[in-house]
Amino acid sequence: MRANPGIPRRLIVAVGGNAIDPGNNKGTPEEQKAIAAATAKAMLPLLELDNQLVIVHGNGPQVGKLLLANAVARDRVTPQSLDILVAQTQGALAYILSQAFENALREAGNSRHVVGLVTQVEVDADDPGFRNPTKPVGPFFSKEEAQALSKEFGITVKQDSDRGWRYVVASPEPRHVCDISLVEALMCTRTVVIAGGGGGIPVIRDASGCRHGVEAVIDKDLTACLMANILAIHDMMILTAVPRVAINFGKSDQRELSRVCLSDMRRYQAEGHFPPGSMGPKVAAAIRFLESGGRRAVITSLDTAVPALRGETGTHIVHDRDV
């Protein structure tokens, strides 16, 4: 497909982990593949564009389930560290998504390739995120269920945006994407690159330059922002469950945002319109992206990705001078 007006030459897209496992099912292989196929069908117009495309996916539902499985089976199977669990979900999700994407492309008569890269992301060993776990992962529980799990397995649980209680883990800031040059090399061949999955495998670098995994899950939207800035990608898209961001959400004066300047978005953020467990991280990543040199951040739903790129829908966050 030829380039379309308004479609950027380089684009990075962040997709939630619920693109494979929305958390309200058992997460069987059949369910995961069926949901991935539906995601691929929704994203097909985006995959068919003649551009350089990087996709970063989340892994919250999946890595949380592995953590709980670790805890339940700890007396029978040696538990794995969180960095290894992130790597497991990164590889599994890249496999399922890349297969679904290529199947959708082939059915449409498109020969474009999709590849998933195992991606390590360096964090600071002294990041305050290690001392205050805030990243919700895994399924939702009632307060009583969560407290019982916490007591039995020694896990940290917190309420997540009035939707229930979840396991929470450390979430340090991404500082460096390892082997980012490989992502760029593949981009330039028009291959769709799935990288930074689950925010990347969290690692620290010691004084000798060697990397070591750490117990954490990095926010995938912040990793997408960092990758975009390194790769000189000027447009970032965050795909979520709604076509637009709203302020006063759920109230009588709720208002959807279409094109909004950076200073207004900072003000809305400071006023508390975007809860930490839902739209908060996405808005924070969009703001950081623009502050670090990005041109436009678009937040929209899976099925409106290409119309949003053209400016027909979605929330577009831009610099004040561009409003």
Residues taking part in catalysis: 17-18, 135, 220, 282
Question: Rounded to an integer, what distance in angstroms lies between the CA atom of residue 289 and that of residue 271?
Answer: 20
Question: Rounded to an integer, what distance in angstroms lies between the CA atom of residue 310 and that of residue 33?
Answer: 30
CA angle 293, 180, 134 (to 5 degrees): 70
Q: Which of 121, 119, 84, 298 is nearest to 203 (CA)?
A: 121
Question: Rounded to an integer, what distance in angstroms lies between the CA atom of residue 296 and that of residue 260?
Answer: 10
Question: Rounded to an integer, what distance in angstroms lies between the CA atom of residue 323 and that of residue 259?
Answer: 7
Torsion angle, CA of 149/80/134/278, rounded to 10 degrees?
-90
Please say whether the beta carbons of 224 and 56 come within 8 A. Answer: yes
Q: With 0-12 CB in 10 A as exposed, 13-18 as middle and 19+ as buried, what is 44?
A: middle
Question: Rounded to an integer, what distance in angstroms lies between the CA atom of residue 103 and that of residue 34?
Answer: 12
One-letter-per-residue 3-state SS of 261-282: EHHHHHHHHHCCCCCCCCCHHH
Q: Which two tokens stand for residue 188?
A: 């330039």
Q: Are strands 176-177 and 255-256 parallel, antiparallel or unpaired?
A: unpaired
